[in-house]
Each structure stands twice: as C-alpha cells, then as structure tokens.
Amino acid sequence: MAQISYLNGEFLPHEECKVPIDDRGLLFADALYEAWCSHNKVFFGSREHMARLRYGAEQIKLDIPWSDDEIIGVAEKLQELNGLTNTLVYLQVSRGVAPRLHQFPKDAKPSIFMTARPAKFPSWEDRQKGIKCVTFPDLRWGRCDIKTVNLLPNVLARQAAAEKGCYEAILIRDGVAIEAAAANFYAVLDGKIYTYPKTPRILGGITRSFIFKFAKELGIPIVEEGIPEEKIWTAQEMFISSVSIDVYPVTNVDGKVAGGGKMGPVSLALYKKFHEVNWGEPLKI
C-alpha cells in the first residue's frame, strides 16, 4: 500500500509531496513541528500538542490559519487512508515560500504538511533492560522551549550516541544534565523524581506533563532541579520520556552501569499508568 501524506490541503502519495526550495523552513529552519501517536487508532494528547504548536507560533510570530480541529482531523484521516492502527504522525508548519531575506516576509503564505507512519513502541522486554546513553555537551540555542526544526545540535548528539552503540545522548550544560537529545530526562534520588525545570532551556514535553500528573496521582514527589552530572551514576533510577516511548529506563551511561542497571519501581509505576491510558487495560506482567 502506497503511503499517503498531506500537503497544503491535499492528500497525496508521499513521493508526490514537494516543498519549494524557497520555503523558509528549508532555508532558515523557520518552521515548527509536532509528533504524536495513536494506540489502537486512538490518538493520545492531540489537544496538548496543538497547544504547544500554538505557543511556538506565538513565540516566533507565525500565523497558523488552520484550526486545531482541522489539523487533528487530518491526522485521523491519514491514519485511515494508510490503514494504520498504531500511528506516529509528524506535522510541520513553515512560514512559507519567500525570497531569501532574513526578516519576515510580508505576504508569505504558511505551508503545512503531515505524514503518518506505523508507530514502533519499545517492547516490554526492552523496557526492562533499559537503554544505554552517552553524555554530550548541550550545543543548542537559547529557546529550546520552541519546537522548531532547528535540530542540528540534537542530530550531532544522537549521532555521537549511535557511534557508541547507544540509544540516546544526555545533554550536559554547566555540569548539569538538562535533557536528552530527543526526550526529557529524569533521575530518582531518595525516592523523588528530579528533572530540569520548565524553562527556555528545555522542551516542555507533552509526555513530561503527563508524568507530572501521574506522579502526583501515585504520590511520587517531583523536584524541578537540574541533575548534577556526577549524580547520574548514583541515582536509584533514571529514565527518559517522549511521545513514542512513554517512559524508558536508562541503565548505562558512558559505558558504566547507572540507575541500578534495570527498570526501577518508580519508572515501572509510571509506565503502568501510561500503558493503562494508551491501551485501555492494565499492564499484564
């Protein structure tokens, strides 16, 4: 079955979707994106993703002429057209096509495209084992709270991880773990979850917001503080979160066992909550 994608009002075979070379998303990374998933055809957090998209648009003064309902409707239609059950949707909105000048064009028309592909979630066995990570300097710009396509520093970090056979990179700035290259980062110390505060230095993850909600329901305290790099190897547990992985334990950093070397009780309790919400049934283990 040929993949169907969406571009500026049309559902097209993916290979027919073309972006002009003067699109400002291509020339300046003057574009925003979102990605979110469905489980058994039910999308999770669509409204929250739209709210973050609107926040980013406000920050970069980008007018988005499509309503939240229109965008969510396109995602649902793409899932149907592609015959998908568990779906990863990618949405990108750019300022549009204009001559290459740094200042905002006066008459550019925003461009939107969306793709839908099968979502691949970590298996229960992989979650139990956890992932390997490397530490890497945080080279990103000062507005990481805006979900732009300006991701080259993140690409370099993930490549460094891949070259060492690792899943992710934990970004370090001024001796503190900020977040991961494509996920938020957490450490459990003395029974409390520590994670970097929601500032322009991190992306306010949608999954992160649900971790806060679920942790409160479970009675697990969360402390919004940066995690000193030297505490990475002494934490009782560590994990990362994003839309496509929910909660994923970190068990090895820079070749050394970390987070107890396995999924711990806090990350397990949180994952159980996500599993119940996403799949509509308790985790069977």
Residues annotated as part of the active site: 147
156: Cα separation from own chain's centroid: 17
Q: How far apart are CA 43 and CA 7, in angstroms?
A: 21
Q: How far apart are CA 90 and CA 217, in angstroms?
A: 30
Contacts 24+ apart (CB under 8 A), 187-190: 187/227, 187/231, 187/232, 187/235, 187/237, 187/238, 187/259, 188/235, 188/236, 188/237, 188/238, 188/259, 188/264, 188/266, 188/267, 189/231, 189/234, 189/235, 189/236, 190/236
The residue with tokens 């290259």 is 181
Residue 239 and residue 211 in contact, taking contact as beta carbons nearer than 8 Å: no
Residue 187 and residue 175 in contact, taking contact as beta carbons nearer than 8 Å: no
What are the strands of the beta sheet with 31-39, ordered from one edge? 10-13, 4-7, 111-118, 87-94, 31-39, 42-43
Q: How far apart are CA 127 and CA 100, in angstroms?
A: 46
Residue 149 and residue 137 in contact, taking contact as beta carbons nearer than 8 Å: no
